[in-house]
Amino acid sequence: MPRSVVRVVAVMVCLVTSPPLFSQNKAQVRKSHRMDRELEFTYDNDVYLLTDRYYTSGLNVAYSKLIRPESNFYRRFSSKRSDSSKLVTRYHYGHSIYTPNGIKKRDFNDFDRPYAGWHHLRFEVMNFPNVHTANTFELEVGLVGRRSGLGNFQEWWHNAFNIVQPRGWQYQISSEPILNFSYNRTRNWRLTRKIQVMTNSGMKIGNGQNRLNQEVTLRLGKFNALNNSSIMNSRVSHFVPQLGEYLSNGEEAFVFYGLNANYILSNILIQGSLFNNESPHTEDIHNLVFVQRWGFLYSNYYVTFYFTYYRLGKEVVGGRSHRYINLNLAFRF
């Protein structure tokens, strides 16, 4: 693993495992405060693995809010069978950049994937029918193509840091607004005290992507229930802990391996628009794509850090598999 990613991981681990600032002066402050909001930063890049192709980089910022049970929104969207008393909303901003293999090539006939960039905003609602089950509803809007500005951004970034310039953004997927709706059902299964299996079944429909997915994730270590777990972004809480007091569900630390099978019907980032043929370069997709991920997650009452290595199967006919690394850091306040 390159030294740069080792340094980044080491710094982030030190940040999340250090004693929180709230507990530095226990003589004056005996209690913390409820952590019902969360700010999360997620960064993806394949440069750490010495590649620069396909899904090459992405950034996501999310703000989560725990909804109070007495609110009208809670009564409308919480699970009618809920015994977990938790409803979480999340607001996301993100962008993603996609390029072919060999960004120095000039002729789009030599590209094995189209150039594409897109910005998106996403609104997400999670409810929990019980402590082992979660429902996630997502509404996603975005803009793909030249108007997203991500081609210009990557060219500027590569120039600023003296990286090889991509030479094919003039052939990117044509501009189009995107509207997607997603639903996921997550279920946790306990095998032993330190071994659990999590399943996630989902679907996405819209003019951006249409797919079905089924994921199975094996976790080893110490975990909380799904309605209070960082793997579900559900650590936000109205509970106010006593500083210095040990909380049985205060920490999570586990390694995980997940296998996700995606049946993809359409993908605008590869095939272009469902409604026209204006994109100068498109490719055919593989309908069945497998995604593997390995990682480590650490979380306490205040912060979360996790590191994930992704391996994507072949998305494009004639293309190759791909790898990238995800870094995630979240703060609750």
178 vs 333, more confident: 178
Mean pLDDT of 281-307: 96
Residues in the chain: 333
283 with 114: CB under 8 angstroms?
yes
Q: And the tokens for 302?
A: 């205040």
Q: In sequence order, what are the residues at sequence separation of 6 or more whose Cβ sits closer than 8 angstroms to the Cβ of residue 127?
A: 77, 78, 79, 82, 86, 87, 134, 135
Alpha helices, H only, 209-321? 268-271
Is the pTM here over 0.85, yes or no?
yes
Q: Assess whether pLDDT exceeds 60 at residue 126.
A: yes
Q: Assess whether pLDDT exceeds 50 at residue 208.
A: yes
166 with 157: CB under 8 angstroms?
no
HSE-up of 27 (CA within 13 Å, CB side)?
0
pLDDT tens profile 157-202: 999 999 999 999 999 999 999 999 999 999 999 999 999 999 999 9
Q: Assess whether pLDDT exceeds 70 at residue 23.
A: no
Element (H or E) spanning 72, and its range? helix 72-77
Sign, CA torsion 209/214/219/222: positive
pLDDT tens profile 86-98: 899 999 999 999 9
Question: What CATH number has the domain spanning 39-332?
Answer: 2.40.128.140
Q: Which residue in the block uniquely carries the two structure tokens 């095998």? A: 191
